[in-house]
Structure 1
């Protein structure tokens, strides 16, 4: 896994944090962290070790990441919420989620962050004209249903609402610290719908997705069917949550 060095912006740039949730990723975390640190040395990197039972935390720390270790496994949603709390308390202006398995190319990070110039949340979308990533069968049906429904709520075209490659400005970071669901698909569907219902603006940026650098992705038709049902249920739960307006930064930071 190699990435070209992304030049540091010549103008002053917002304080940025990469949040990388990881659970038992010792096989790939070291290389992923090293690639991110090489490509983006001007951005801080936090690995949230989600109660791993292997050497994920030690490997990430040796590779150059700051590591926040959770005492037990909370799931991706819980790990990300912890990461956003870290970002808020650390005074970061923006944060971006990056997978620990190497699927997200760090070269695309500045592009996704640029989306924050016009929105509170910027999604790195796999089906918006970049790369050759494809999903088929029930998984694709679920993604299409979710994208259509959430695009209507967001009042903008969103191709890939299940993407975990997304950035948040400080307003969205604060929203996430208070309302980031930890349930299944809470880190993607539920958190996005909750943010939209709170009044946050969402946009997307086309990116190319890479294969996992370790492990074996599931392509089992039965699991894809289960995914379809769970995705629909996650959308239902998100839509029925009580609408809570996004907190105002001036009031919180006063």
Structure 2
């Protein structure tokens, strides 16, 4: 890690991922020995919580399904209340490779949010047809709001620094796609800096994708609504984190 004083928390939102969540937690702990890892069990009806606990994660159980946004908001509040100033989101299906976490966190030296981008030169991940067109259009819109070129605004693999943690503990959207697109718009309009780093995605280790190519029209429509909602929200000012004062020095 570029800054050993950072108190990192890895948050894994999980819904009925008993077949993969244990491997995900094990991979996180192998890549980052000693890192704090929280699995937010988003109302699972299977053994997700038990498997995650056995793998060594702290498990927060929600009484019913809130969606990824609601699960992540729980994770941000846990981070805020337990003194973690950096949060990395890792999905429970195994697609996000924890080996890239240090690179995302390193990017926080120059940004408040660093996206693990699937279309930035690493790996062979591809979204095709209408869904890919929708993702490109969303990337253009969010890039314009953020005033920074971004190629993968729907990626859930992200590192978020102190300002983002404080903001998202209060405002992280719970609507579908709000946890990606809307959250980035909220962050940009609150003055947070957003960047990306190339990552290589893996195949899902279990389960089925949440949406396929045939749902691209609905995907785009709902994502557009998420962006509109974010643009209509009042701007939230986020104070810069306090800087340490060297011993004997002055601020």
Q: Call closer, same or farther: CA 1:110–1:61 in 2, change over 3 Å.
A: same
- Ranges in structure 1 where 5+ consecutive residues have no aligned partner: 1-8
Query: 1:67 is matched with which residue?
Result: 59
Structure-2 separation of matches of 1:114 and 1:177: 22
Contact persistence 2:145–2:188 (CA under 8 A): yes
1:89 deviates by 0.9
Contact 1:18 1:43 in 2 (8 A): yes
For 2:169 and 2:239, how far apart are their aligned partners in 1? 11
Distance 1:166 1:46 in 2: 15
Q: 2:158 aligns with which of 163, 166, 170?
A: 166
> Is residue 129 of structure 2 the alignment partner of residue 137 of structure 1?
yes
The structural deviation recorded for 1:10 is: 9.2
Cα distance in 1 for residues equivalent to 2:97 and 2:176 = 25
How far the C-alpha of 1:243 sits from its partner, in A, is 1.9
Specify the SS of the correspondent of 1:91: coil
After TM superposition, give the deviation of residue 35 of structure 1 in Å.
Answer: 1.5
TM-score (ref. length: structure 2) = 0.92
Distance 2:159 2:3 in 1: 20
Q: 1:233 to 1:219 in 2, by over 3 A?
A: closer
When the two structures are superposed, what TM-score results if normalisation uses the length of structure 1? 0.91
The structure 1 residue matched to 2:12, chosen from 20, 23, 26, is 20
- CA shift for structure 1 position 238: 1.6
Task: Compute the displacement of 1:13 (Å).
Answer: 3.9
Deviation for aligned residue 1:244: 2.1
Whether 1:235 and 2:227 are equivalent positions in the alignment is yes
Aligned equivalents of 2:129 and 2:104: distance in 1? 28
In structure 2, what is the Cα distance between the partners aligned to 1:93 and 1:83? Answer: 12
Q: Does 1:36 align with 2:28?
A: yes
Separation (CA, whole Å) in 1 of partners of 2:213 and 2:37: 36
Greater shift after overlay, 195-204 or 239-248?
239-248
1:127 to 2:119 alignment: yes
Residue 151 (structure 1) aligns with = 143
SS of equivalent residue, structure 2 residue 30: helix
**RMSD of the alignment, in Å?**
1.6
**Aligned match for 2:105, one of 101, 105, 113:** 113
On the 8 A contact 2:2/2:106 being kept in 1, the answer is: no
Deviations 1:192-251 (A, max 9, x none): 10011011111110101111110123674431222122122222222222222224545x
Whole-angstrom CA distance in 2 between matches of 1:165 and 1:39: 15
After the TM superposition, list the runs of 4 or more consecutive aligned residues in structure 1 that deviate by more than 6 angstroms.
none
2:90 equivalent to 1:98: yes
CA distance in 2, matches of 1:219, 1:234: 17
Rate the CA distance shift 1:193–1:11 in 2: closer, same or farther, 3 A: closer
SS class of match (2:167): helix
Mapped partners of 1:140, 1:222: distance in 2: 12
| Match for residue 223 of structure 1 among 212, 215, 228 | 215
Paired position in structure 2 for 1:53: 45
Instruction: Number of aligned residue pairs: give it.
Output: 242
Distance 1:237 1:248 in 2: 25
Distance (whole Å) between structure 2 residues aligned to residue 171 and residue 27 of structure 1: 34
Structure-1 separation of matches of 2:64 and 2:3: 41
